[in-house]
Amino acid sequence: MTEHFKDTGFIPLRIAVLTVSDSRTEADDKSGGWLRDQVEIAGHKVVAKEIVPDDVYRMRAVFSHWIADPQIQVVLATGGTGITGRDSTPEAIAPLLDKQIEGFGELFRALSFEEIGPATIQSRALAGLANGTFIFCLPGSGGACRTAWDKILRPQLDHRTRPCNFAQLIPRLLEK
């Protein structure tokens, strides 16, 4: 067994949470607050949390800052993944990604279909890697955040999940 698959028990990750919204504040940011709480309950450390409007350049500024910070291993973003005129999270993050993780959006929509039916087609949830940082962009609804966290992210960010997980890959993400 290679070292990155070695069972070392739970390893807490350093995670940033971003809410994309023109109307939310810390007082009423239910989805971002819920994600922050779930990250901490799972044993990880929330190292940053912000709310940014649906503006491509303001989002890119936050994403870029966090991607450049070696202390941040994962970014969870909620909101702005729909198809209305102001929904622009995918456009903000896509140019910053070194690699996309297409399976995340595909799996999210498959799981979401079981819960909300064909309305899931409106989601542009996506994930990728940038400078060794995992980035996951989720819809803004509480139900969507729960689906993504409970069924995909919590187990994939836990080093103990078998047969494989994202957490065990972190030491190898910047290999050349």
Q: What is the pLDDT of residues 71-126, one digit of tens each?
A: 999 999 999 999 999 999 999 999 999 999 999 999 999 999 999 999 999 999 99
Q: What pLDDT score was predicted for residue 5?
A: 55
Annotate 114-147 with DSSP letters as a single string: HHHGGGGGG---EEEEETTEEEEEE-SSHHHHHH
Domain map (residue ranges) of the chain: 11-170
Q: What pLDDT score was predicted for residue 6?
A: 61
First-to-last C-alpha distance (Å) of the chain: 22
- List, in order, residues 6 or more apart from 150 with CB less than 8 Å away: none
Distance CA 92, CA 63 (A): 9
Distance CA 31, CA 173 (A): 28
Average pLDDT, the chain: 94
Strand partners, 127: 136
**Helices in 2-157 by DSSP H: which ranges?**
30-41, 56-68, 89-93, 102-116, 142-148, 154-156
Distance CA 156, CA 149 (A): 9
Task: Residue 127: name the closest of 69, 166, 160 by CA.
Answer: 166
pLDDT higher than 70, residue 169: yes
CA angle 117, 120, 82 (to 5 degrees): 150
Residue 85: burial class (beta carbons within 10 Å; 0-12, 13-18, 19+): exposed
Distance CA 112, CA 145 (A): 10
pLDDT-above-90 percentage for the chain:
90
pLDDT higher than 50, residue 162: yes
Span 10-32, average pLDDT: 92
pLDDT-above-70 percentage for the chain:
95
| CATH architecture assignment, domain 11-170 | 3-Layer(aba) Sandwich (3.40)
